[in-house]
Amino acid sequence: MPYGLPAAAVELFYEGDRPLRAEEVEDPFRRGILTIARAAGRAELPWPRRTPDTLRAANDD
């Protein structure tokens, strides 16, 4: 199970063993959850690269 979610929750976002894309989901609420998760993931990606520089700059002050 991805991320330790209960099977019932995972089944909402999978078709068999294949994860569904937001564009493939007709239910607007399920599509919204997938859209928000995608946006959050994209926003989090730069954080690990940015953080060391931010910490170094804070220590230089």
Strand partners, 15: 18
Its pTM stands at 0.58
Rounded to whole angstroms, the Cα distance separating 50 from 15 reads 36
**Spans of all domains in the chain:** 2-60
Q: Nearest to residue 3, comparing CAs of 46, 35, 41?
A: 41
Query: pLDDT digits over 4-58, tens only?
Result: 555 666 667 888 888 888 889 889 998 998 899 889 888 888 887 778 888 888 8
DSSP assignment string, the chain: -GGG--HHHHHTTEETTEEPPGGG--SHHHHHHHHHHHHHHHHHTTHHHHHHHHHHHHHH-
